[in-house]
Structure 1
């Protein structure tokens, strides 16, 4: 009986978070909250699948970062969507083979953190300015040094992540 109540409580929390996030979309469009007039209509047309994919990617790739670090990762994903060399949807970018390191079958355990990254995802998909990474399309944590990082222009470091722009290759000699 206690297990059943615990399970129902968790389901209730998940549903409450989902509904509160959905309720935020029209509020963002009406209040402005960083969304300019041109993008107000777009705020109400956010694809639910893109929102889920971006929120999940932010949770697993940047949940330990501050808000700017999470926004920066969202910028990279959206910069890729806009770049001709990458897939044209958020889900296609996030699910592109070998690009993001988190386990796609992992469970979201911290609902509070997920709610925060979901708000960042909503703002990013609603047209928030992308000014943190200077057009970055790649990033990695400081704990690793991938070979591709020597070929691209480093744009900035935010928290534990280093960001790179791929449209300007560096000399390889």
Structure 2
């Protein structure tokens, strides 16, 4: 019974600690068990998808997130877009950000959420690792930045966005 009591006490202490951290924030990230802010979701997408290579690459990724958010076919929130299954890096919303790239991601996320966009991305809603090629004829490439190639999906016959 003693081991069981110790486990319950530890669990209670962890729950109290987590609830007390609920209002804390660092670089715009919620610490504790609360829901992630739009800024944190944007930071995470840019951090994990741009290879933390440059502000330019992060801005391009952020622009894609916002292009999707503004399209009725996608969720209406940054976290909804970033959290869509099989759309962004695995674990994008749960893996730790472990280097100084998080600081740059925080700065660029703030800019994107205030309206900054990468002009080269245009209306693109998709990207993949630079250097990969796929046999589809509806991928219209518009930019390479941050280790990624950004593209619009277009009807090959009419040239209209899909």
1:127 aligned partner: 115
* TM-score normalized with structure 2 length: 0.69
* 1:81-121 deviation digits (Å, cap 9, x = unpaired): 011221111111001111012324321111x2101111100
The residue number in structure 2 matching 1:115 is 103
Aligned to 1:4: none
1:69 is aligned to 57
1:146 to partner: Cα distance: 4.7
Provide the TM-score with structure 1 as the length reference.
Answer: 0.65
2: CA distance, partners of 1:17 / 1:88: 24
Q: In the superposition, relative to structure 1, how do residues 162 and 94 fare at CA in structure 2: closer, same or farther (>3 Å)?
A: same
Partner residue of 1:170?
156
The runs of at least 4 consecutive aligned structure 1 residues that moved more than 6 Å come to none
Q: Cα–Cα, structure 1 residues 145 and 130, in superposed 2: closer, same or farther, change >3 Å?
A: same
- The gaps in structure 1 that reach 5 residues or longer are 1-15, 23-47
Match of 1:80 in 2: 68
Alpha-carbon distance in structure 1 between the residues aligned to 2:55 and 2:129? 16
Q: Is the 8 A contact 1:133 1:163 kept in 2?
A: yes
Check the 8 A contact 2:59/2:117 in 1, yes or no. Answer: no
**What are the within-5 Å matches in structure 2 for residues 26-105 of structure 1?**
49-104=37-92, 105=94
Deviation at 1:155, TM superposition (A): 1.3
Q: Which runs of 5+ in 2 are unaligned?
A: 1-23, 29-35, 158-162
Shift of 1:17: 8.2
Q: Tell which deviates more after alignment, 99-108 or 51-60.
A: 99-108
User: CA contact under 8 A between 2:65 and 2:78: conserved in structure 1?
Assistant: yes
Name the residue aligned to 2:138.
151
Tell me, yes or no, if the aligned pair for 1:152 and 1:165 is still in contact at 8 Å. Answer: yes
Other-structure match for 1:161: 148
